[in-house]
Each structure stands twice: as C-alpha cells, then as structure tokens.
Amino acid sequence: MFKDKRIFVFGSGISGLGAAKSLVCEGARVTVYDEKKINISEEDRVFLSAGGAVLSNLLPAEDFHKEFDLVVLSPGVPINHPIANKAREDGLETIGEVELAARLAPDSKIIAITGTNGKTTTTALVADMVKKLSVTSYLGGNIGQSLSLAAHKLSGGQGLLVAEISSFQLESIKLFRPHIAAILNITPDHLDRHGSFADYASIKALVFKNQTRDDYLILNNNDPNVRGFADKAEARVCFFDGSGELSEGCFVRAGNMIMKWRDEEHTICRVDEISLLGAHNVENALAACAAAFFAGVRFADIRAALTAFKGVEHRIEYTTTIKGVKYYNDSKATNPESAIKSLEAFADKQVVLIAGGHDKMTDITGFMRTVKKKTCALILSGHARGRFEQAARRQGVENIIAVDSFEEAVHTAYQTARAPQVVLLSPACSSYDMFNNFEERGRYFKKLAGELTSAKV
C-alpha cells in the first residue's frame, strides 16, 4: 500500500518516529520534519537513514505538496497547523498517526480506549486480559509504542491492537474503526488546543464515528457527557456503572463485579479482590472487563488478569516509605478531575499534595474544594503556581506552600509530612514548563524520593 510512496511525517516524538519506522519498513520514501530539534537515538537514526529516510528541521517549500503523496501528523501537531492546512488546500491527503495504523493493519481488530481520565490504566488492563486469546495482540497508541509501529508488527495479518486513544489522535481520523471502543468519562481538558468543552467532547465521540452494528461501544452510565452518546451510535452499546445495578452491562452488585449481557449473567470477582486504589478504578476495571468479554476472553482469564493487575507507572503508583510516610507518584494526573479522583482515594486531611506545572487554564474550583477536604498541606510549583494559589485561598485551603522548583517541592513535602500522612504528586497540570512529559516528571519524583530514602535527610 505504501511502497514507493513519498510521505511527509510531521513530528519526531514517539508517534512520529514510530510512523516513520513503520513506513520505511513498508518501502515508503519518508521525510521526517520537526520544528524542534530531532532528538532520537543513534540506533533509530541509523535505521531510518539506511531506509532512505530524510530528517529535517527546515520548513518545507511553498509547493512542498508536489513532492509528496501523503502527510502523516503526530498527535502533538494540531490538525489546523499552517503546514497541515496548506497541504490540504493543495489537495494533499493529511492523516494522523492512528489513522496510518488502521491502514497498516486493515484485517486486524482494534480495541480503542478513550476518555479524559483512566485511559492508561484501562488500556493496560485490557492488554493483560487479551493475552489469553489465541490471536497475536499488541499494545500501543497513547501508551508505550506508537500504534502504527504496533500495527506494522502484525505484518498485514490478522491480530488485535489494544490502543489508548487521546483527543489529539482522534481529531485526524478518517477510516479508523475500532471493533470495540470505550469512552470512560469526559471532563474539561485540553481546552488550550480544542477551544471549548463542546468541541473537545465531539472529538472524543469520533472514536465510534465509523463503527457499525458489528461493533461494540462501551459507555460510562454515570457520566452524563458520555451516556448520551448511546443515542448517536450505530454500534451495539454496553454501559458500565460502578455505583448501581444495570439491566444489562457491567456493574457492581453487593460488592461483586457483574457482567450481564443478552440474558446471561456472570460474576467476575469481588471489588475488594482488585488492588487498584479509588472508586474511579472500579469503573476502569468494569470497562476493561466489558472490552475483554466482547473480545472473546473467558471470564476465568478476565478474573485472573484483573486480580493480578498492580496498576501502571505514574498513576497513584506507590514509590517508597520514609519514616512511616508513604510516597505516591501520580504524575499522569494532568488535569483537575484526574487529581480529584486520586485525592479521593485517601483519607481526609492526610495528604501532603504536590501540584502545579504547565497551566492548561482549566477550571480548578472543584479541585481546590477537594484539596481543602483531603490535604493537610498544599505545595505548589511551576507555571500554574500563582493561579493555583489564588484559587486555593478562595476556597479556604490552609497551609499553602509555594516553592521555586520541583526539587524544592519534594524536599518541602518530606519536611512537612508525618506518619500516617502520605505525600502525593498529583499535579492537575501538564508537565511542559519543567519536563518533556509527565513520564519524565514522575520518574524524577521517584528519583528524588529514592534519594531521600537513601540519605534519611
């Protein structure tokens, strides 16, 4: 399909690099462009060069569309970027990296998980569950490797792609059609890119745009922004609910997780048998169970994977204990709603919270109300520090400590916390003011906490 095609890949991060490597393997003639310095490993640079790929920081020529057959955008590149706009105006097809994955593996089925919060945990859990199937499966998308690279590994054969899908990835799809899609929740996020909550929600709904009656759509019955999508879907809809019983779907009854579908009912396990913290993770687990069920996983295998699952890195991840104080890395909480769910997993007035970072200008009123209830100290750093402090004071939050660096935030948390309190990094912000991504932020937090453990300062 892509052999000898001239393809312009915009972006050299995980997704762009994965797209470029996949296309080189497919025999395409690839140019990788990035507005920033192209920072890839020497191994990847040699691989791409050997495949004839060109790496460039130079702006494409005004008539660059004449030199290419296709443009592939990384998720970090907005669909309305001037270069993308110019390409479309000149008739050059422009797609996203996730769309490329769908075209690389047209005979494979896709399980796509989206939502504002919980995507990574749910996707990783589904990936564990489907390992018991006889088909080859790969995990990718907004988690781990790029989805296009995962798709290429199927080598055109039949298989299963388990994908975490963000709004950034959905806004550029065309033919992308998951056999099983799940929307976990929708709360305001990425408004700096999408403009309004209505636009953000409509982009999330694109995950089921191409589904048919042969497909499944899993929706959160407790989220009114999600529940209403059932009326717009062509696919067969399955609701999940962590707080009430459903006539059909995946839900909790008397402490048991239940799957009921087409007059058949199965008990999966007890809620207290899973190790994930927080009511939100019960919802994530229910969505994962439903996805695995529709993929054909046996209930015994669903239960085994669910009860063995210990969570994912950077999501309420236990890090260490120092003088009786437990440290948790929740760097993936890049918006207020995600941080609220994390705070609710702990006892009132027992959290020393480290928050702040790159301010996405989301409404933080509800977040600060939860901060007042749950924290004994709020430590703020980063670009959002000033606005967060003002909002906290308006909600009556006490013991607010503003610091100048991330390192100072962690050391201040150590000096402040006393057992049985916990230290929680849950920033409610993205990381781009101080770090390249939330993973780098989380790992640095763990490094600093580890140094505190060793030094016993």
Backbone angles phi, psi at 111, to 5 degrees: -105, 115
Would 80 be classed as within a structural domain? yes
Q: To the nearest 10°, report the CA torsion of 243, 247, 248, 249.
A: 0
Tokens of 81: 């970027």
Lowest mean pLDDT among 70-74, 311-315, 362-366: 311-315
CA distance 115 to 260: 23
Asked if 143 and 164 sit in the same domain, the reply is yes
Question: Is residue 455 very low, low, confident or very high in pLDDT (cuts 50, 70, 90)?
Answer: low
Asked if 167 and 106 sit in the same domain, the reply is yes
Asked if 47 and 113 sit in the same domain, the reply is no
Question: Is residue 304 very low, low, confident or very high in pLDDT (cuts 50, 70, 90)?
Answer: very high
Asked if 65 and 201 sit in the same domain, the reply is no
DSSP designation for 273: G
Asked if 12 and 149 sit in the same domain, the reply is no
Average pLDDT over residues 150-162: 87
Q: Which residues pair with 377 in a beta bridge?
A: 352
Would 40 be classed as within a structural domain? yes
Average pLDDT over residues 338-366: 94
Q: Which residues pair with 181 in a beta bridge?
A: 112, 217
Residue tagged 């909790």 (tokens): 252
Helix (H) and strand (E) counts in the chain: 17, 20
Domain boundary among 37, 63, 92: 92
Asked if 209 and 348 sit in the same domain, the reply is no
Query: For residue 67, what is the domain's CATH number?
Result: 3.40.50.720
Asked if 321 and 426 sit in the same domain, the reply is yes
- Residue 421's Cβ-count burial label (10 Å; 0-12, 13-18, 19+) is buried
pLDDT at residue 195 greater than cutoff 80 = no
Question: Is residue 191 very low, low, confident or very high in pLDDT (cuts 50, 70, 90)?
Answer: low
Q: How many CB atoms lie within 10 A of CB 53?
A: 22
Name the 3-class secondary structure at 398: coil
Residue tagged 């975490």 (tokens): 164
199-232 in b/e burial notation, b at 16+ Cβ within 10 A? Answer: ebbebbbbbbbbbeeebbbbbbbbbebbbebeee
Domain boundary among 254, 287, 308: 308
Q: What is the pLDDT of residues 71-113, one digit of tens each?
A: 999 998 999 999 999 999 999 999 999 999 999 999 999 999 9
Would 330 be classed as within a structural domain? yes
Where helices occur in 52-146 by DSSP H, the ranges are 82-89, 97-104, 119-130
Domain boundary among 308, 327, 355: 308
HSE toward the beta carbon, residue 405, CA cutoff 13 A: 5
* Tally of domains within the chain: 3
Q: How many CB atoms lie within 10 A of CB 307?
A: 13
Tokens of 203: 């982009």
pLDDT at residue 147 greater than cutoff 80 = yes
Q: What is the pLDDT of residues 205-258, one digit of tens each?
A: 999 999 999 999 999 999 999 999 999 999 999 999 999 899 999 999 999 999
For residue 156, the model assigns a pLDDT of: 63
CA distance 450 to 457: 11
Asked if 337 and 421 sit in the same domain, the reply is yes
Would 75 be classed as within a structural domain? yes
Average pLDDT over residues 357-370: 93
Q: What is the pLDDT of residues 31-46, one digit of tens each?
A: 999 998 898 999 999 9
Average pLDDT over residues 161-176: 94
Would 288 be classed as within a structural domain? yes
Asked if 167 and 201 sit in the same domain, the reply is yes
Pick the closest to residue 85 from 108, 18, 77 (CA basis). 77
If you compute the radius of gyration of the chain from its CA atoms, what whole number of angstroms results?
A: 23
For residue 163, the model assigns a pLDDT of: 97
Average model confidence (pLDDT) across the chain: 93
- Would you call the peptide bond into 82 cis, given omega within 30 degrees of 0 as the criterion? no
For residue 291, the model assigns a pLDDT of: 98
Structural domain span for residue 368 = 317-455
Would 1 be classed as within a structural domain? no
324-340 in b/e burial notation, b at 16+ Cβ within 10 A? Answer: ebbbbbbbbbbbbbbbb
pTM of the model: 0.82
Average pLDDT over residues 268-286: 91
Tokens of 26: 């497919």
Would 209 be classed as within a structural domain? yes
Asked if 144 and 232 sit in the same domain, the reply is yes
Backbone angles phi, psi at 55, to 5 degrees: -105, 130
Name the 3-class secondary structure at 354: strand
Asked if 123 and 232 sit in the same domain, the reply is yes
Average pLDDT over residues 114-136: 94
Would 343 be classed as within a structural domain? yes
pLDDT at residue 59 greater than cutoff 90 = no
pLDDT at residue 456 greater than cutoff 70 = no
8 A C-beta contact, residue 98 and residue 163: yes
pLDDT at residue 294 greater than cutoff 80 = yes
CA distance 219 to 267: 20
Percent pLDDT > 90 in the chain is 83
Asked if 114 and 225 sit in the same domain, the reply is yes
Query: For residue 429, what is the domain's CATH number?
Result: 3.90.190.20
Show contacts of 221-227: CB within 8 Å, 24+ apart: 221/246, 221/249, 222/283, 223/185, 223/186, 225/185, 225/186, 225/187, 225/201, 226/115, 226/183, 226/184, 226/185, 226/186
| Distance spanning both ends of the chain, measured CA to CA | 60
